[in-house]
Structure 1
Amino acid sequence: MSHATGTRHSPASVPTSTRRTDTQLLSVYLNDHLAGATAGTDRARYLARSCRGTDLGPTLEAIAGEIAKDRRGLTDLMHRLHIPARRYKVCAGWAAEKLGRLKANGRLVRRSPLSTVIELEMLRVGVTGKIACWEALRQLAETDERLDPDVLDDLLSRGHRQLHTLEELHREQAASTFRTAEPHGQGAQS
């Protein structure tokens, strides 16, 4: 509210130089993303281990390493912003990832090829969310000197590369998983 006139200013009408970061809301937001990053890091490592020895293995190992590095980047940013990590949210992210492994995907004893398709989809969703977080922080970096725009640009660039790679892997895996050999002696039906 303006002291002289008693009128309220919308956030958009307040000069950029006088806007302050709402640390309470940012804390909730970043801790939610930290929970997701925890689940995503564990999921990426699990998928990379599950695909070791396959054509997907080396690419997934690299992506899992990058996702873990991005999680550390998030905790570094939170530290710079003086936002503590909420342990209960981190634990919730960890537990959610573990529970997500219980889905059988059509097989009870051994890993189903469908598992890889679904896990790639889950990683794509996670990376998309991470990119949205980096975009929000990049915008905030315009007015908050605690955030380095160059660091956020690097995180954004890496996130977009990860998403592109995961989309390609998903297309290939879905095609090979759902493609079946045509039964002998049967042609395509019109």
Structure 2
Amino acid sequence: MNKKRLRIYLEDHLALMVGEIELIVRCHESNQSTNLGRFLERLVEDVRAQQSIADGVLYSVHADKSLAGRMKQGAAWFAEKLGRFKLNDALLEYSDLSRVIELETLVATAQERVNLWASLEEILTKDLSLGTLAATDLKDQSENHLAELKQHHLNAVTLAFLRPVVS
């Protein structure tokens, strides 16, 4: 097993999860009392748990995160914060368009988690040095997240683009 490449790969995915968690929290703040908000409450806990598991895999491959890995996580955190300044149709308040963009980003990050766990599942079939890992279950969980995020995205698209604008 090429542990150096696996370390880099895991650090990249851990950085994505940092940004994903920050975005889930932000999106939840503006959608708390909705079905989307309730889903996001569960999602953030699941992603944090997956992040912890991925961090454990990283630890089993390489004792410490590299400086580059820590920098990637910091950059992902900063990028999410910077993304809050994107101009939408409502400058000072949450916009239906903001929700669409946030959900599209969360769909992409959920797909990345599906890919992560599918990759680790494949590695585990050929190399047992990582020990036991429920990669299949984590992949399935991420696929369920992805499906639900896609449905919430379609609902957000309807609200943003098909609902009459009240002036």
Q: What is the TM-score of this pair, normalised by structure 1?
A: 0.79
Paired with 1:71 and 1:181, the residues of 2 have a C-alpha distance of: 40
Q: How far off its partner does 1:65 sit?
A: 1.5
Paired with 2:19 and 2:53, the residues of 1 have a C-alpha distance of: 15
More helix by share: 2
Unaligned runs of 5+ in 1: 1-20, 184-190
Alignment map for 1:142-153 (pairs within 5 Å): 142-148=125-131, 151-153=134-136
Query: Who wins on radius of gyration, i.e. which is larger?
Result: 1
4+ runs deviating over 4 angstroms: none
Aligned residue in 2 for 1:177? 160
Q: Name the aligned partner's letter for residue 49 of structure 2.
A: K
Aligned residue in 2 for 1:75? 55
In structure 2, the residue corresponding to 1:142 is in which secondary structure?
helix
Q: Of residues 1, 5, 10 in structure 2, which corresponds to 1:30?
A: 10
Number of aligned pairs?
163
Paired with 1:161 and 1:104, the residues of 2 have a C-alpha distance of: 31
Paired with 1:81 and 1:109, the residues of 2 have a C-alpha distance of: 45
Q: How far off its partner does 1:149 sit?
A: 5.8
| Worse-matched range after superposition: 25-34 or 120-129 | 25-34
CA RMSD after TM alignment: 1.8
Q: How far off its partner does 1:68 sit?
A: 1.5
Q: Of residues 64, 74, 94 in structure 2, which corresponds to 1:84?
A: 64
- Aligned in 2, Cα 1:95/1:120: closer, same or farther, shift over 3 Å? same
Q: Is 1:124 matched up with 2:107?
A: yes
Unaligned runs of 5+ in 2: none
- Aligned in 2, Cα 1:150/1:33: closer, same or farther, shift over 3 Å? closer
Q: What is the TM-score of this pair, normalised by structure 2?
A: 0.90
Q: Is 1:52 matched up with 2:35?
A: no
Q: Name the aligned partner's letter for residue 111 of structure 2.
A: T
Q: Is 1:40 matched up with 2:20?
A: yes
Aligned residue in 1 for 2:96? 113
